[in-house]
Chains A and B, each alone.
Chain A
Amino acid sequence: MIGAASRRDAPDMSLTGPDAGSTLRAALEAAREDLRQEIARGDGGRAALQAHATRVDELLQQLYVEAGVPDRPVAIIALGGYGRRHLSLHSDIDLLVLFGGRIGPSEERFLRSFLHPLWDLGVVVGHQVRELDEFADLETDNPEFLLALLDARLVAGAAALFDRLQAMFHQPTTHAYILRSLLELVEERHARFNDTLYQLEPDVKEAPGALRDVMAARTIAMLTDPVLLRRGPADPGRFEDAEDLLLRVRSVLHLESGRNHNVLSHELQEHTAAVLGYAGAEPRQRVERLMSDYFRHARTVGRTLEWVRRAAPVPVGPNLGLSRDGIRFLDPVRAAAAPASWIGAFQAALEANTEVTDEALSCIQQHAERYRPDDFTPEPRDRAALLRLFRPRPGLYARLSQMHDCGLLGRIFPEFDAVAWRVVRDFYHKYTVDEHTLLTIRNLERLVQTDAPERQRFKAVAASLPSLELLVLALLLHDVGKWRDDEHAPESVRMAAEALDRLQVPPEARETVLFLIRHHLQMSMVAFRRDTEDPEVVREFARLLGTEDRLKLLCLMTLADIEAVSPETLTPWKEELIWRLYVDTYNHLTQRYGDELIGRNAAGLGELLTWRPHDLSEAEIIGFVEGLPQRYLQLFSRDAIYRHVRLARDIGPDEVHLSLEQTDGVWTLAVVTLDKPFLFSNICGVLSSFGMNILRGQALTNSNGLVLDVFQFIDDERFLAMNPDAHGQVLHVLQDVVSGHADVTTRLRGRERSVLQWRGAPRVAPVVRADNTASGRYTILDIVAGNALGLLYRISRVISQHGCDVDLVLISTEGEKAIDVFHITKAGIKLDEAEQRALTSDLQGTLEGTL
């Protein structure tokens, strides 16, 4: 019987006609008698049970016809063993009576007419009465019922209704849930038998190696990989034989005990051996032969189940399974019609560190041509998934190569297809353009996990970037223009722009990718062919790049690109030249770049004015950006700048204007004010008090003394996510603290231990270095310390306590290491040597925990 009770109370009794009853009884009795005789002949196996199930089907069909037609469509559905047509003599008849709509009086009448005669006949019916709608949600309280539904078979009634049930029931999530439950049930059941099939009195249904294990092996295969059993340790024929023997034994047990009894006890063994025709002079010998036959078959079942459990693909996504040879489509037919699911196969393979199976690849290969690029990424989440796929990690090159080989990569990116097998003859390239491209990605993938000591410096550069997906995208498209014979970079840019538009890559990311493609040869050109000891060369290169992130990306791109030309191309000598250019440019960008301020003729300003929204005037924009460091225009998108301008609108003394937004899990806080003592440190303190992990911070001041601080942080403790009013609360506290109405130290008291009283040996020895030479306007403070909650607050509070103004801060983290570069002044000018010494010594003490 399935489930402890049916969903509905039994309707009132009302008898159908006695004649009908006696006819049915006779028919059932005749069927049972036939089965008894078969069993007695030792033939109560699969064939006999199937025949019996068919007889019972007929009986139910007759009952169905006689029960009259209810208002709603109804289907009589066999479940479990009866669904499989393995109906033993005293097995329960498990039924689902399914209605296509609400159960009303007419349906209740039907139920009475259908079920009561069955009860009168003394048939043990395990029945569920359900409305179709109840199957809309996955029911997790009764895994046995879901398992039985897997064997659902229409006996009588509306076929369309049955089909709708099947469609609703057979969902990937349901299958995954059933599989998990089944594996748990098998373990529990085996544990009850001490995990051994060698029982002296085995239960031929429940014991390890018995009938439930046969069903479990079949079900696991059916849910994961239908051909699994054919590849199992035992010949499929032997598995079938084993089942047949178990069924024949069970039939004898039912016949002998006169009930649903499945234990092959000592008393019944002798009789069973005799019925099944085991030879031997003595009963003991016949019993031994029966039992050794039983164990032999049970072992086949046990081994098969064990193998299936190990080899079955684990569902890892919609229609995706992980099996021993990789990721496969559980249902290749469905997969062929769902191109948007294909990228998921490669993602799953990367996550499981395996391949996509040949079978899945050939499915893709066969059908890829039918689809247009957009078909693979129709929804925003598909496009996001494609970008996620590009995260450099072990296996990325291998998976992209598989995608390329089966034609998928070229269908998603027809641009890339243009350079498939493309040969460009020059003195140095050793591979076709497509392979060169994929090798650049392999080089990046290797770099991020390399242990080679000489590569650690570049690996650290990669680790300091928030994400490398865009770099991989840029690498993938950097040479697509090589289908033409002339200069390829501009053509690559043109083609990449089309690809990026198709994928609806956000504007900033799009710009970054196109920038990298446009200038992908620039860094090697400068490093190898320009005098990099000339500060003007570095300055020009830094100006081209604009931000540290772009420098880092281009540096990694250059390295990966050169290394993919041929195994000999990237020499340690060239690496050194690239590294030196990187360091010089990095230092220029972080230390000297604050010197260059936005003037009226600044590059990029014209564009900012041209595209301005209606509500902003040219004067308002110029008034805001004038005097901000030049990097501001490169660091922020036009839209972000417009938002800042609006934020600064009508600001008065003592006022603070704030905005807080989130994109992709990263929060951006922009603060505009006119008053600045302790501003930076106060904001750091407030963010720390809410447990926020600050990723980046920019403190910028324009010519009018307007301060713009922009922070990016992650809500590690999910404060903003979990509390509906948190957003407002953070803004409110910031407003109070920054405007001086509240004290940040009070706020931090709750976190004193972690933030204020931070002690203990830091894992990274702190380094504080002040430099007055790098920049014309600022004293540069280079601080390296172990990253910790509140670190920025501690540093900036000390700086403020020394009466210094924070004019620009570059925050970055490399694993556990925080690297912060503060551009500071005191009363508008650089610090003198005594002031520097006092400040660095206080900072050193604070960071070492001695102050």
Chain B
Amino acid sequence: MKLIKSIVRPNKVDEVKDALARLNIAGMTVTEVRGHGKQKGHTAIYRGKEYNVSLLPKMEVEVVVADALADEAIKAIVDAARTGEIGDGRVFVFPVLESYRIRTGEREV
């Protein structure tokens, strides 16, 4: 199993969700996060006053998928979240050692 964690633009979450759903990947966790990568943020001016916009609002989408599905899922996320501009985000992939269902205590393979 793989844990796929992607940081995407807030307005792309729905598209990412739909793309994953098309692969029958339904369970996911979505978190509001802030951060920056290469896109360092910028300075905005409002009514004569500068203010720094260094941490940008992003969404973090986490899904756990079977190894066989991982490549497809990653591609789906990248396609859905891409605009071609700086700030499109990142996808991280982690191996998952074990997984348990809390309700039943049953271990998933």
| Chain A residues near B (Cβ < 8 Å) | 528-533, 571, 573-574, 576-577, 580, 583-584, 586-587, 767, 769, 782-784, 814, 819
B68 contacts across to A, CB distance below 8 A:
none
Known: A573-B57, A577-B57. 5 other contacts (CB 8 A): A529-B10, A573-B34, A574-B32, A782-B45, A819-B47
Residue contact B46 to A586, C-beta cutoff 8 Å? yes
* Shortest Cβ gap from A454 to chain B (Å): 13
A767 contacts across to B, CB distance below 8 A:
48-49
Q: Which of A528, A574, A782 contacts B11 (CB 8 A)?
A: A528
Q: Is the CB of B28 closer than 8 A to any CB of chain A?
A: no
B85 contacts across to A, CB distance below 8 A:
533
Given contacts A531-B83, A573-B57, contact A587 B10 (CB under 8 A): no
Residue contact B11 to A580, C-beta cutoff 8 Å? no
* Shortest Cβ gap from A785 to chain B (Å): 9
* Shortest Cβ gap from B102 to chain A (Å): 22
B9 contacts across to A, CB distance below 8 A:
531
Given contacts A533-B87, A576-B57, contact A784 B49 (CB under 8 A): yes
Q: How far is the CA of A16 from the CA of B94 in the complex (A)?
A: 122
Q: Which of B11, B32, B53 contacts A531 (CB 8 A)?
A: B11
* Shortest Cβ gap from A768 to chain B (Å): 8
**Chain B, 25-75, CB within 8 A of any chain A CB:** 32-34, 44-49, 53, 57
Residue contact A529 to B14, C-beta cutoff 8 Å? yes
Residue contact A819 to B48, C-beta cutoff 8 Å? yes
Q: Which of A532, A576, A769 contacts B48 (CB 8 A)?
A: A769
* Shortest Cβ gap from A577 to chain B (Å): 5
A583 contacts across to B, CB distance below 8 A:
44, 46
**20 residue pairs from A and B, CB less than 8 Å apart:** A529-B11, A531-B9, A531-B11, A531-B83, A573-B32, A573-B34, A576-B57, A580-B53, A580-B57, A586-B47, A587-B44, A587-B45, A587-B46, A769-B45, A769-B48, A782-B47, A783-B48, A784-B48, A814-B47, A819-B48
Q: How far is the CA of A767 from the CA of B10 in the complex (A)?
A: 35
Q: How far is the CA of A783 from the CA of B47 in the complex (A)?
A: 8
B83 contacts across to A, CB distance below 8 A:
531
Measured CB to CB, the nearest residue on chain B to A571 is B32
Residue contact A577 to B10, C-beta cutoff 8 Å? yes
Residue contact B48 to A580, C-beta cutoff 8 Å? no
Q: How far is the CA of A814 from the CA of B47 in the complex (A)?
A: 11
A528 contacts across to B, CB distance below 8 A:
10-11
Measured CB to CB, the nearest residue on chain B to A583 is B46
Residue contact B10 to A784, C-beta cutoff 8 Å? no
Measured CB to CB, the nearest residue on chain A to B15 is A529
B14 contacts across to A, CB distance below 8 A:
529
| Chain B residues near A (Cβ < 8 Å) | 9-11, 14, 32-34, 44-49, 53, 57, 83, 85, 87
A571 contacts across to B, CB distance below 8 A:
32
Measured CB to CB, the nearest residue on chain B to A537 is B11
B53 contacts across to A, CB distance below 8 A:
580
A782 contacts across to B, CB distance below 8 A:
45, 47-48
Measured CB to CB, the nearest residue on chain B to A783 is B48
* Shortest Cβ gap from B51 to chain A (Å): 8
Measured CB to CB, the nearest residue on chain A to B39 is A533
Q: How far is the CA of A576 from the CA of B32 in the complex (A)?
A: 11
A577 contacts across to B, CB distance below 8 A:
10, 57
Q: How far is the CA of A769 from the CA of B45 in the complex (A)?
A: 10
* Shortest Cβ gap from A456 to chain B (Å): 12
Q: How far is the CA of A580 from the CA of B45 in the complex (A)?
A: 11
Residue contact A784 to B57, C-beta cutoff 8 Å? no
* Shortest Cβ gap from A786 to chain B (Å): 13
Q: How far is the CA of A769 from the CA of B47 in the complex (A)?
A: 10
Measured CB to CB, the nearest residue on chain B to A532 is B11
B32 contacts across to A, CB distance below 8 A:
571, 573-574
Measured CB to CB, the nearest residue on chain B to A774 is B45
Measured CB to CB, the nearest residue on chain B to A575 is B57
A819 contacts across to B, CB distance below 8 A:
47-48
* Shortest Cβ gap from A716 to chain B (Å): 24
Measured CB to CB, the nearest residue on chain A to B14 is A529
* Shortest Cβ gap from B7 to chain A (Å): 13
Measured CB to CB, the nearest residue on chain A to B10 is A528
A530 contacts across to B, CB distance below 8 A:
11
A586 contacts across to B, CB distance below 8 A:
46-47
Q: How far is the CA of A782 from the CA of B46 in the complex (A)?
A: 10
Residue contact B11 to A784, C-beta cutoff 8 Å? no
Q: How far is the CA of A576 from the CA of B11 in the complex (A)?
A: 14
Measured CB to CB, the nearest residue on chain A to B9 is A531
A573 contacts across to B, CB distance below 8 A:
32-34, 57
Given contacts A531-B11, A577-B57, A580-B53, contact A784 B34 (CB under 8 A): no
Measured CB to CB, the nearest residue on chain A to B59 is A573
Residue contact A784 to B47, C-beta cutoff 8 Å? yes
Q: How far is the CA of A798 from the CA of B47 in the complex (A)?
A: 21
Q: How far is the CA of A819 from the CA of B46 in the complex (A)?
A: 11
B11 contacts across to A, CB distance below 8 A:
528-532
Closest 5 interchain pairs by CB? A784-B48, A573-B32, A767-B48, A583-B46, A782-B48
Q: How far is the CA of A531 from the CA of B11 in the complex (A)?
A: 6
Q: How far is the CA of A586 from the CA of B51 in the complex (A)?
A: 15
B49 contacts across to A, CB distance below 8 A:
767, 784
B87 contacts across to A, CB distance below 8 A:
533
Q: How far is the CA of A67 from the CA of B11 in the complex (A)?
A: 97
Q: How far is the CA of A833 from the CA of B44 in the complex (A)?
A: 22
Q: How far is the CA of A533 from the CA of B83 in the complex (A)?
A: 11
Measured CB to CB, the nearest residue on chain A to B58 is A573
* Shortest Cβ gap from A815 to chain B (Å): 13
Which of A573, A586, A587, A769 has the most chain B CB atoms closer than 10 A to its own CB? A573
* Shortest Cβ gap from A521 to chain B (Å): 15
A531 contacts across to B, CB distance below 8 A:
9, 11, 83
Q: How far is the CA of A528 from the CA of B13 in the complex (A)?
A: 10
Measured CB to CB, the nearest residue on chain B to A812 is B47
Q: How far is the CA of A767 from the CA of B32 in the complex (A)?
A: 36
Q: How far is the CA of A782 from the CA of B10 in the complex (A)?
A: 32
Measured CB to CB, the nearest residue on chain B to A460 is B47
Measured CB to CB, the nearest residue on chain B to A819 is B47
Measured CB to CB, the nearest residue on chain A to B42 is A533
Measured CB to CB, the nearest residue on chain B to A582 is B46
Q: How far is the CA of A532 from the CA of B32 in the complex (A)?
A: 17
Q: How far is the CA of A380 from the CA of B26 in the complex (A)?
A: 58
* Shortest Cβ gap from A591 to chain B (Å): 10
B44 contacts across to A, CB distance below 8 A:
580, 583-584, 587
Measured CB to CB, the nearest residue on chain B to A820 is B48
A584 contacts across to B, CB distance below 8 A:
44
Which of B46, B47, B87 has the most chain A CB atoms closer than 10 A to its own CB? B47
Q: How far is the CA of A709 from the CA of B45 in the complex (A)?
A: 28
* Shortest Cβ gap from B73 to chain A (Å): 22
Q: How far is the CA of A763 from the CA of B72 in the complex (A)?
A: 61
Measured CB to CB, the nearest residue on chain B to A586 is B46
Q: How far is the CA of A842 from the CA of B44 in the complex (A)?
A: 26
Residue contact B34 to A576, C-beta cutoff 8 Å? yes
Q: How far is the CA of A656 from the CA of B2 in the complex (A)?
A: 77
A784 contacts across to B, CB distance below 8 A:
47-49
Measured CB to CB, the nearest residue on chain B to A573 is B32
B33 contacts across to A, CB distance below 8 A:
573
Q: How far is the CA of A583 from the CA of B53 in the complex (A)?
A: 11
* Shortest Cβ gap from A814 to chain B (Å): 8
Q: How far is the CA of A228 from the CA of B11 in the complex (A)?
A: 64
* Shortest Cβ gap from A147 to chain B (Å): 59
* Shortest Cβ gap from A753 to chain B (Å): 27
Q: How far is the CA of A533 from the CA of B44 in the complex (A)?
A: 12
Q: How far is the CA of A571 from the CA of B48 in the complex (A)?
A: 27
B57 contacts across to A, CB distance below 8 A:
573, 576-577, 580
Measured CB to CB, the nearest residue on chain B to A525 is B11
Q: How far is the CA of A784 from the CA of B47 in the complex (A)?
A: 7
* Shortest Cβ gap from A241 to chain B (Å): 71
* Shortest Cβ gap from A608 to chain B (Å): 32
Measured CB to CB, the nearest residue on chain B to A580 is B53
Q: How far is the CA of A819 from the CA of B9 in the complex (A)?
A: 33
B46 contacts across to A, CB distance below 8 A:
583, 586-587
* Shortest Cβ gap from A574 to chain B (Å): 7
